[in-house]
Structure 1
């Protein structure tokens, strides 16, 4: 199996929304880890795409995760890949690193959709969340069974860096300390 390459990766940040996050078990940790991925992606020139499920009902992306200049897909479908604007907004890179909520609904269905579309998907288990731990764990098992690789934020970061000689190594490692 190969490592995650920043030149072929996109970071997909799914539905970290203001009215949803208070209900997510250990939501602060998931949010903090997603922020680490977003910062690392910006540092290493990995494009980032955000989604928001029913933003009128669930609010916009939480302030802790500034979208900056990244594209945001507003959707009503649970599987983001079924949203009308999604195919034109996600970069055509083959690898997708996923963070998001809820693991057993929008994250799961989007991951399955991306796999069906032929993408290689890496789910950062410490940057996803659900209201209940058992829902998250069931989603992780199902995504893995269907071909997603389950990783951690640190795994992604160090694989994107590739070497301790990377010019941004110290700056990137500071994100996880």
Structure 2
């Protein structure tokens, strides 16, 4: 049985995004991932770090059907509602995108790995205010066992074949 894919969108919030290095690319890739997940039946779980201070998730990224977890811990795995929203570790692969790469994305990734999840960190769909912080976060996540991937690879992975009826629509998301 193929493991259940889940897209985790970490803290892509209104007041944070303008400060993220190359935030336009981060937003384009996160949007493509969310749209592809919806098209292909992949669950989407999003987190919001202190939304009263950082605002809600950027307008237009998520749908009402997506699960949004409010948190105040940098590692989302310390939040019971977040853990409850995920399938069992042995049955799933979590694809992680969002911000900031070196804080909530990295600490949540490390928490997920400690809990036994298989994690694919979508390197071109994460960001930090400082590019060096992002680079170090990617290295650290990989050292700890996260697998690196890209937006395009993730979408093709979810598709599995060009024979799927959704192929052309998914392709439009990344072109």
Residue 39 of structure 2 corresponds to residue 43 of structure 1: yes
1:68 and 1:25 map into 2 onto residues whose CA distance is 28
Work out the number of aligned pairs and report it: 173
The correspondence of residues 93-112 of structure 1 with structure 2, limited to 5 A, is 93-112=91-110
Unaligned 5+ runs, structure 2: none
Question: How big is the shift at 1:6?
Answer: 7.7
Question: How big is the shift at 1:103?
Answer: 0.1
TM-score (norm 1): 0.94
1:31 and 1:7 map into 2 onto residues whose CA distance is 27
Q: Secondary structure at the match of 2:137?
A: helix
Check conservation: 1:47, 1:91, Cα contact below 8 A.
Answer: no
Residue 116 of structure 2 corresponds to residue 118 of structure 1: yes
Which residue in the other structure is 1:77 paired with? Answer: 73
> For residues 101-159 of structure 1, what are the alpha-carbon distances to aligned partners after superposition, in whole Å with 9 as ceiling and x for unaligned?
00000000000000011100001111100000000000000000001011000000111
Tell me: CA distance 1:70–1:6, structure 2 relative to 1, closer, same or farther (3 Å). farther
Pick aligned residue for 1:136 from 130, 134, 155: 134
2:92 and 2:110 map into 1 onto residues whose CA distance is 15
1:176 and 1:68 map into 2 onto residues whose CA distance is 23
Which residue in the other structure is 1:156 paired with? Answer: 154
1:67 and 1:20 map into 2 onto residues whose CA distance is 20
Q: Secondary structure at the match of 1:85?
A: helix
Aligned-residue CA RMSD (Å): 1.4
